Amino acid sequence: MRIGVPHMGNLYIPLKALLERLELDFVIPPANNRRTLSLGVRYSPEGMCIPFKLTLGNLIEAAELGADTLLMPAGSGICRLGYYAKTQEQVLHSLGYDAEIVSVGVSQRKLLGLLEAIKRLSNNASWSKIISAFRFGLAKLNVLDTIERAVQKVRPVERVKGTANKLFAQAVSATEQADDYKSLKRVQTDYLEQLSLAERDESAEPLVVGIIGEFYVLLEPFSNMDVEKELGRLGVEVRRSIFTSGWTKFSLFLNPLGVNEKDRLHKAAMPYLKRDIGGEGWESVGEKVLHAKDYDGLVHLAPFTCMPEIVAQNIMPSTKENIPVLTILCDEQLGKPGMLTRLEAFVDLLKHRRRAKVKV
């Protein structure tokens, strides 16, 4: 049995750590690239969203490398995600790969469901081994996200453009290589220090833009054309509330205990959207309402044909709380120059707005 996993941002690093520690045979398909996308597009039903297409491309590439057990997240999350595995398996079979898709139900049984799935896959490894491997994976995830948060702060104000991005790339590969807690800790302190030492423009007061929208396109830079890096290059500080580590912490550990980090967002959205509509639609509306005061603008990312985000997009303009929102729909047709032009225009608008505000 050889396990294959799809990509989502840097999630492959903690997954790799987990599978290595369990001594399982696995392949990580190549990072998302043009071939992944074109494979996904060619074999997906017309009208599917980009997360489906890219993960399908990943699974095909993993199958090419000999993977026969493919992990896919699933769950009755109301959006199409719960149906992905069914269709992707049929596509793989029709292409002649005899691979089985194991859908890991993350939304219903939370942590227990995930651990049980790992146990099944690992041929009944002992619980202590599974838990220690899982903890190590989580530790890597936390380090990556901590560094990324610091990178988001440095990007807009660095004197030498590209410093933060370079450091982040190094940090990612250092995290990948770290094989115990001690070296992992060192990676974190090292890179946080280097980032804090990066030469900055102290006088700059960067615009603050929140990135909201659908989970996958937020976290997979290939699908959103590196929108965060580009905003950073334009001198904008990016704030994002969705991080994989945060999601894991809440949805696996704290939500079952009754702590819900999203309650705040839901409460804010209440006057405009009273109910959960699946995906991240409710949260998108909530973030707009909540951050209208403290951010300069919002970039709303959604896959083309994403059902929850279309509803959110329809509701957002009618809120009393006013803040500019730029919606970018991500799919294989999204071109970088077009997106850059829109981002530049948006940033210009925010600058004018801030200047006008200062005058008043």
Per CB under 8 A, 247 contacts another protein: no
Look at residues 148, 146, 142, 140 and name the one whose alpha carbon lies nearest to residue 176.
140
Q: List own/partner pairs for 201-204 with CB under 8 A and 24 or more apart.
A: 201/157, 201/158, 201/159, 202/157, 204/156, 204/157, 204/235
- Return the range that interacts with another protein (CB under 8 A); candidates 1-9, 112-120, 165-173, 305-313: 305-313
- Cβ-contact 290, 264 below 8 angstroms: yes
Helical axes 307-315 vs 281-291, angle rounded to 10°:
30
Per CB under 8 A, 338 contacts another protein: no
Beta strand residue intervals within the chain, DSSP E: 3-4, 26-27, 69-74, 100-105, 207-213, 236-240, 297-303, 325-330
Look at residues 244, 260, 241, 250 and name the one whose alpha carbon lies nearest to residue 300.
241
Look at residues 247, 221, 176, 223 and name the one whose alpha carbon lies nearest to residue 57.
223
Closest CB to another protein among 267 and 352?
Answer: 267
Per CB under 8 A, 245 contacts another protein: no
Which 26-45 positions form the footprint of another protein (CB under 8 A)?
Answer: 45
Per CB under 8 A, 73 contacts another protein: no
Q: What is the dihedral of CA 91, 94, 98, 102, to 10 degrees?
A: 20
- Return the range that interacts with another protein (CB under 8 A); candidates 8-16, 47-55, 205-213, 231-239: 47-55
Which 82-121 positions form the footprint of another protein (CB under 8 A)?
Answer: 82-83, 86-87, 90, 94
Given candidates 313, 323, 328, 347, which one binds another protein under the rule CB under 8 A? Answer: 313
Given candidates 42, 120, 186, 275, which one binds another protein under the rule CB under 8 A? Answer: 275
Per CB under 8 A, 333 contacts another protein: no
Q: State the minimum distance, in angstroms, from the CB of residue 47 to another protein.
A: 4
- Return the range that interacts with another protein (CB under 8 A); candidates 64-72, 80-88, 147-155, 168-176: 80-88
Per CB under 8 A, 51 contacts another protein: no
Per CB under 8 A, 75 contacts another protein: no
Given candidates 4, 235, 281, 297, which one binds another protein under the rule CB under 8 A? Answer: 281
Phi, psi of 302 (to 5 degrees): -150, 145
C-alpha span between 29 and 120 (Å, rounded): 22
Q: How many residues would you count in the chain? A: 360
Residues that bind another protein (CB under 8 A): 45-49, 76, 78-80, 82-83, 86-87, 90, 94, 272-279, 281, 304-308, 310-311, 313-315, 317-318, 327, 329
